[in-house]
Amino acid sequence: MGRRTPGPPVPPVRGARARKRFSQHFLRDRRVIRQIVDAIAPQPGELVVEIGPGRGALTFPLLASGCELHAVEIDRDLTARLRAQAAHHSNLTVHEADALEIDLTRIARPPRQVRVTGNLPYNISTPLLFRLLADLPRITDMHLMLQREVVQRMVSAPGTRTYGRLSVMVQLDCEVERMVQVGSGAFSPAPRVESAVVRLRPRSHVALDPAHRKRFETIVRSSFSMRRKTLRNALRGVCDERVIAVAGLDPKVRPENVTIDGFLHLTRASMDRGSADADK
């Protein structure tokens, strides 16, 4: 990815400084900010949840759209300053909270949906993604800033080096599209990695029931915990070779070459085998 020349910086919230323990890197490039806001295209009255607003680089452009914005910030100093700056914005609510623990039902009562955006802290990006995936029934779409490598894993196809557990779990439930590439110079302080914005839109399909979902997650996790091994060896103790064959898969194939449909077939074959064994 080519490096982007930073645009005019966003004026910082007075007194705000990046804290390493929160993995803070504040977005400052106005051109990148405009690209992200244009990608989100918030509408008046929509409910938007912003994770990690930091100095408010995205917060205030989003507010200008007339959306109802809920900002979730763990840093109490930034929370106080955002509240003070937003005193004249009736469409902003600031939550001092850990994004890993936020309950979307407390922000929007069902059946109201939310749109999620934010510059996710690098140190919790993957668990936070899985936390958001668990809340998909409440979410219309997500526009998230992540490390470029994480976004690459999310969009990767079977047979590629970066295809893995994250690729499968995200693509099972969402249409995934890389939107904006962001160089390190767009942040203050500049991180040592490049970033990208990804759009996630929940798929309109019949969700797996809880038992099948749990089994699917176990199979995928086990498969990629030893990704260089064959499927037969990676799933030893989880699925035997006969179940893999019944699912229409070659037991000698490596997990990185198994499609999402392949993992779904394997899940159903495993569940059917378990039910048959239980009936004996």
Q: Domains of the chain by range and CATH?
A: 20-202 (3.40.50.150), 210-279 (1.10.8.100)
Residue 12's pLDDT band, with cuts at 50, 70 and 90, is: very low
pLDDT value, residue 93: 94
Q: DSSP for 191-259?
A: PSS-EEEEEEEE--SPPPPHHHHHHHHHHHHHHHHTTTS-HHHHTTTTS-HHHHHHTT--TTS-GGG--
The per-residue pLDDT for range 193-245, each reduced to its tens digit, is 999 999 999 998 767 899 999 999 999 999 999 878 999 999 999 999 999 99
Residue 7 has pLDDT above 90, yes or no: no
Q: What distance in Å separates the CA atoms of residue 114 and residue 136, rounded to the nearest whole number? A: 10
pLDDT value, residue 8: 46
Mean pLDDT (the chain) is 88
Q: What distance in Å separates the CA atoms of residue 55 and residue 71, rounded to the nearest whole number? A: 11
The per-residue pLDDT for range 66-95, each reduced to its tens digit, is 999 999 999 999 999 999 988 889 999 999
Distance (Å) of CA 47 to CA 40, 79, 116, 170: 12, 19, 9, 23
Q: 91: closest CA among 57, 55, 42?
A: 42
From 6-15, 84-93, 119-128, 182-191, the region with the lowest mean pLDDT: 6-15
Residue 256 has pLDDT above 60, yes or no: yes
